[in-house]
Structure 1
Amino acid sequence: MEDGNPVKEVFGELADGTTVHRWSLENGGVRLKVLSYGGIVQSLELPDRHGRYADVSLGFASLAGYETSSPYFGALIGRYGNRVAGGRFTLDGEEYRLPVNDGGNSLHGGPAGFDRRVWDVEEFTAGPDRGLVLRRTSADGEMGYPGALAVRVAYTLTADGEWRIDYEATTDRPTVVNLTHHVYWNLAGESSGSVHGHELTVAASRYTPVGPGLVPTGEQAGVVGTAFDFRTPRTFGEALRHPDPQLRHAGGIDHNLVLDKGATGRPEHVATLRDPVSGRTLRLSTTEPGLQVYGGNGLDGTLVGPGGHAYRAGDALCLETQHFPDSPNRPGFPSTVLRPGETYRSTTVHSFGAGSSEGEHDLPRSPTS
């Protein structure tokens, strides 16, 4: 597939007979496949330092896995990314109850969140860039959330080898919104095994400790002396070996890091993930104030990827740009309230590269760049 307009094909049918399509895009050395179901990134292929391509995201070869078994592989998450404690929150004096799907909590929008909805998808070109616009309106009361929420999400592959996500939403009633994306990254390739050798750097001096059920305590604690100090490059395996009692709550790392920059109007660089073996790198920039780092702790070998590899804990690393977990119940956290007349906006940019003997470099440029 050469750089050019997206290619659309039928990917399968859901149990109710709804047709799901897949779009294939390539630009700037990045190959992306996206489903209309859940806005799912089914694969994202990158070259290594020798130009050899591999899919660096975990997923399934067919639609059935996404419909019945997926732990949010590659999915668009909403209305509320991460946990809402007890499946309830109060807004303007009124309590709202949400269906719980994570112990006693509501996780990632509930059991039928945005990851399990079919989106309207349109292709677009913008100069040398190629992309898709995904739209849907979440009805008032869907998964317990107030207000009809009109959502627009743009996935853009730039000629410079970047994957950009731009989120927008408006509401007709006061509500809460926290949109994110849930790619499981393995820069060595989705069938290559553990990411414990990946090096992670995050510009975050604090994190939000959790209690049982992985709900934040409300504290914003310093990362010094913890498993969550990624201010300088650190392998993920080294962090997991830290005797931090917080790791016991999640069976590993599943924690929100408080980004030093806070919420910003423009995306700023906050994290770098690097695989020393392949040389592939991911530089993450965002407007969001938080980053949930998750090590795939729930993978137990029962799910099998397109390459035939049974996925296990530690086979991937999620970097979910977000506002903080349980913010609707935590006045001290950045607000996630959206009101009529306002527009929710959030942007995250993934910049890819590959190492060489001369050091890091960007991916090959598109002929149109």
Structure 2
Amino acid sequence: MNITSLPIKIEEKTWLEYTLTNDSGMSVSFLNFGGIITKMMVPDKNNQFENVVIGFRDYDNYLNNKNYFGALIGRVAGRIEGAQFSLGEKTYTLPANDGDNSLHGGPGGLHARTWEVETIETPTSVGAVLYHTSLDGDQGYPGTVKYKVSYTLTNANDFEISYEAISDQDTVLTLTNHSYFNLSGDLKDTILNHEVTMNASQFVELDHALIPTGNILPVTDTVFDFRNGRKILDGTLSGDPQNQLALDGYDHFFIFDQTKDDDQITLKDASSGRQLTVTTDQPGVVMYTSNNLDDSLQLNEARSKKYLGVCLETQSSPASVTHDGFPSIHLAAHEVYRKKTTFSFES
């Protein structure tokens, strides 16, 4: 097992790209800028190692990472309707960077910050701890928040992300990672034939701006039912109004039936033999099937295009600041936010 770092010159700045490698050869590379995961090298059924996440070929493009490739997301993952929320008796106004709404913590969210990094090695894992402090009023949010995010790669080919945060005032917060997975390897194919199994019997209805309407719908007898496995292709062809709103794909919050001691999601690609299992203590996940990607970006192995990756954004729901009945994103002053998501790979 080992950890390496490589300086990356970006305009007048120098970032560091860290690579965590385990004893079987799996590796995860990330930047201290945005905590951005740039590559995950994972074996297929023939033990061929290929990259299974979307990343830019030219690292300068991460400065304007509108698709949030690989990035840490916060303070609030997802869209806050009308770019404002009330807490106590006060209303807070946020930057509107997605129409009239605030998306993924605003333009200066965690995806666009440089983090301090401390590397860690144990007999069974290699990892890094990322630290950042966001001051009171940053992107319109109340409270000074101290973040600690751990990336850990084990010899069992498990990649764990542990999140911690603490605020000196009541605030709102839910964190995630925005990696786009493509198990075909090196972007050889789209994710349309990837099969998803998800332990979720409910999903959240969206309006035309992809904002939750407040309705939580059953997945039964719809293409949102992944409980027994379903190809992503089904949702792109369904004609369901909810898929059509998301440009013939998925960009929806699924509420897990259980949040502990269970594999919430599996993602399989038959051609490569790779399987990704996601286990988390978060209450739900936004599954986004890269419906907005066009061919304008040069990625590591190919040009970008629609359906080239699937994001599995484990998180709570920002709709909870507007509607009752949703997993809350409220964080009380001095309460420690702790969440963990593990991505386990097999082939």
Give the TM-score, by structure 2 length.
Answer: 0.97
Aligned partner of 2:50 in structure 1 is 54
Deviation at 1:69, TM superposition (A): 4.2
Deviation at 1:158, TM superposition (A): 0.8
Q: Which amino acid aligns with 1:282?
A: L
**Aligned partners of 1:46 and 1:278: how far apart in 2?**
11
Alignment of 1:11 with 2:4, yes or no, is no
* 2:189 counterpart SS class: coil
Aligned partner of 1:349 in structure 2 is 342
Aligned partner of 2:207 in structure 1 is 211
Could you list the per-position Cα deviations for residues 269-296 of structure 1 after superposition, in whole angstroms to 9, with x for gaps in the alignment? Answer: 1000000000000000000011101010
Alignment of 1:141 with 2:137, yes or no, is yes
After the TM superposition, which segments of 4 or more aligned residues of structure 1 sit over 2 Å from their partners? none
CA RMSD of aligned residues (A): 1.2
Q: 1:255 aligns with which of 252, 263, 281?
A: 252
* 1:143 counterpart SS class: helix
Where does 1:288-327 land on structure 2 (aligned, <5 Å)?
288-307=282-301, 309-327=302-320
Deviation at 1:70, TM superposition (A): 4.1
* 2:209 counterpart SS class: helix
Q: 2:226 aligns with which of 207, 220, 230?
A: 230
- Which runs of 5 or more residues in structure 1 are unaligned? 355-369
**Aligned partners of 1:45 and 1:70: how far apart in 2?**
24
**Aligned partners of 1:205 and 1:29: how far apart in 2?**
37
Could you list the per-position Cα deviations for residues 320-352 of structure 1 after superposition, in whole angstroms to 9, with x for gaps in the alignment? Answer: 101013222223212211122210011000010
**Aligned partners of 2:141 and 2:335: how far apart in 1?**
17
Q: Which amino acid aligns with 1:169?
A: A
Aligned partner of 2:147 in structure 1 is 151
Aligned partner of 1:273 in structure 2 is 267
**Aligned partners of 2:203 and 2:216: how far apart in 1?**
6
Deviation at 1:43, TM superposition (A): 0.3
Could you list the per-position Cα deviations for residues 26-59 of structure 1 after superposition, in whole angstroms to 9, with x for gaps in the alignment? Answer: 1144211110010000000101000101100001
**Aligned partners of 2:95 and 2:237: how far apart in 1?**
35
Deviation at 1:68, TM superposition (A): 2.3
Whether the 8 Å CA contact 1:268–1:287 is kept in 2: the answer is: no
Whether the 8 Å CA contact 2:253–2:286 is kept in 1: the answer is: yes
Q: 1:109 aligns with which of 105, 122, 128?
A: 105
**Aligned partners of 2:64 and 2:326: how far apart in 1?**
34
Whether the 8 Å CA contact 2:69–2:180 is kept in 1: the answer is: yes
**Aligned partners of 2:188 and 2:270: how far apart in 1?**
13
- Which runs of 5 or more residues in structure 2 are unaligned? none
**Aligned partners of 1:163 and 1:234: how far apart in 2?**
24
Deviation at 1:89, TM superposition (A): 0.2
Could you list the per-position Cα deviations for residues 217-273 of structure 1 after superposition, in whole angstroms to 9, with x for gaps in the alignment? Answer: 1111100122211111111112221121111211021001111114x5xx6310000
Give the TM-score, by structure 1 length.
Answer: 0.91
Whether the 8 Å CA contact 2:196–2:226 is kept in 1: the answer is: yes
Could you list the per-position Cα deviations for residues 131-173 of structure 1 after superposition, in whole angstroms to 9, with x for gaps in the alignment? Answer: 0000000111111000000000000001111000000000001
Aligned partner of 2:128 in structure 1 is 132
Alignment of 1:242 with 2:235, yes or no, is no
**Aligned partners of 2:218 and 2:85: how far apart in 1?**
27
* 1:300 counterpart SS class: coil
Deviation at 1:20, TM superposition (A): 0.6
Aligned partner of 1:45 in structure 2 is 41
Alignment of 1:287 with 2:281, yes or no, is yes
**Aligned partners of 2:25 and 2:284: how far apart in 1?**
29
Q: Which amino acid aligns with 1:22?
A: E
Deviation at 1:310, TM superposition (A): 1.1
Instruction: State the identity %.
Output: 38
Where does 1:196-207 land on structure 2 (aligned, <5 Å)?
196-207=192-203
Deviation at 1:24, TM superposition (A): 1.0
When structure 1 is superposed on structure 2, of 310-319 and 332-341 the one drifting more is 332-341
Q: Which amino acid aligns with 1:280?
A: R
Q: Which amino acid aligns with 1:101?
A: N
Q: 2:328 aligns with which of 323, 330, 335?
A: 335
Aligned partner of 2:162 in structure 1 is 166
**Aligned partners of 1:244 and 1:228: how far apart in 2?**
10
Whether the 8 Å CA contact 1:89–1:328 is kept in 2: the answer is: yes
